[in-house]
Amino acid sequence: MHVFPLATLDREPSDPANFTGPGSLRRIEGALSADPRVNVYRVHFEARSRTNWHTHSGHQMLFIVEGRCRYQKEGEPVGEAGPGDLIVVEPGENHWHGAAPGGAMTHIALNVNAVTSWGEPVSEDEYDAG
């Protein structure tokens, strides 16, 4: 058993090359020491901040911890999810996720054997289509 107290996790700013707006990331390194293919991140987005469009080569699970998560899969309407909700992204799906306009959002991202390929920023029009 391992415990990862939130206060012990280093926080780094999100990479402006791949994110629009302010946010931060805590890597939970070695969450599954026996399976290095599993990577866990706690990601915080300020209101309206979001990832660029991107794909993952493996599954991604997004556990919403606080706030409202705005998300979209290419070709589908913008959606929103709240605390306790789980979003599962299939390998290869082009998508984005971030905070809704009303306030900050935090999710835990659990990536399984997944390399991320980054695309273009989500435009204001795309974001506001929600």
Q: How many CB atoms lie within 10 A of CB 98?
A: 26
Nearer to Mn ion, 2 or 61 (CB): 61
Query: From the CB of 85, what's the least distance to Mn ion, in Å?
Result: 15
Binding site for Mn ion (CB under 5 A): 60
Query: From the CB of 109, what's the least distance to Mn ion, in Å?
Result: 7
Select the residue whose beta carbon is closest to Mn ion and give its number: 60
Structure tokens given for 98:
């971030």
Calculate the alpha carbon distances from 92 to 60, 112, 121 in Å.
Answer: 10, 13, 18
Nearer to Mn ion, 66 or 116 (CB): 116
Structure tokens given for 51:
């990832």
- Beta strand pairing status for 116-118 and 69-73? unpaired
Query: From the CB of 89, what's the least distance to Mn ion, in Å?
Result: 5
